[in-house]
Amino acid sequence: MTRHAAPVPPDLAPSRHVGAEPRRTWLVVTVWAVTSSVAALGLLAVQPVTGLSMEILSLVMLAPAIGAVICRAALRKHLPSFAEPAPAGRFLLAVVLSVVVAAVYFAAVSIARSHPPQVPARVAGMPVAVMILAQAVGALAEEIGFRGILFHALSAKTPRFVAATVVGLLFGVWHVQYFELPLLEHLAFILGTVALTVTMTSVMTGSFWQRMVVCTIIHLGANLALAFTGGDAVPMSTFGLALLFGCLIVGPIGAASARRAQATEASGSGRRS
């Protein structure tokens, strides 16, 4: 019997685009960064005109998705293909882990501040449910850009952890409002965004939209943990550590789940051969 190398499930293996050159990855990254930045400047100018409170939704959160759409339209042939949808059981586990890590964020910030979460009935004059929905839309838009197009393009040419670290750093820098923080507080926030991204890339699985669901739950959980456990009163060192705790607790579970899925897939392929 001829021995075949055990295949790696598509959502666990690095993405590859046949015939793509390294410079194409940087073309995708550059086009996404430029278009997202231009969109961000435009949305910042539009926000006051709309009268929409930034407590409900900061329109700049939509910019990464705008950049992603432009990249997808202009550079489709240079983007690696996404994996096939994950089986229902594996995807459900990823969703459960994403909810768990969001709960870790709430618990960590609450314990650090000795202050339980408080969900107001209204935010900026609107029902809190509207604020949560708007935040979910904003989180999804940022995920489409950062953990969607950007991470996927980088992970086609670099190891998964390296790509996650770079995307986490860029995501931290994207939040220019925190540049005015003291240096150590700002560094704690950057550490947190790297930990957030590593957590997401450890847990997410399957197709593009399956990944976006998982990443959006984690992202929304982080945003709401900050908003409902003190908001501006929470030091970024506390918030950054909460994101790190989430990574240390849930990240290894997600990685172990991925390895088990890989072993199961390899075993099944071996039996078929």
pLDDT tens per residue across span 34-62 = 999 999 999 999 999 999 999 999 999 99
CA-based nearest residue to 229, from 125, 113, 55, 67: 113
Mark the ranges of the chain whose per-residue pLDDT is less than 50. 1-22
Residue 147 domain flag = yes
Count of the separate structural domains present in the chain: 1
Determine the pLDDT at residue 269. 56
Residue 51 domain flag = no
Determine the pLDDT at residue 48. 96
Per-residue b/e over 219-240, b at no fewer than 16 CB within 10 Å?
Answer: bbbbbbbbbbbbeeebbbbbbb
Residue 26 domain flag = no
Over residues 92-132, the pLDDT tens digits come to 999 999 999 999 999 999 999 898 999 999 999 999 999 99
Q: What percent of the chain has pLDDT over 70?
A: 88
Residue 34 domain flag = no
How many C-beta atoms surround the C-beta of residue 124 within 10 A? 13
Tokens matching residue 58: 């900061």
Determine the pLDDT at residue 3. 39
Determine the pLDDT at residue 5. 38
Rg of the chain taking only CA atoms, in angstroms: 19
- Which DSSP string do the residues of 119-144 spell out, in sequence order? --SEETTEEHHHHHHHHHHHHHHHHI
Rounded Cα distance between 191 and 122, Å, is 32
What domain range is 106 assigned to? 93-272
Residue 157 domain flag = yes
At 169, is the secondary structure helix, strand, or coil?
helix
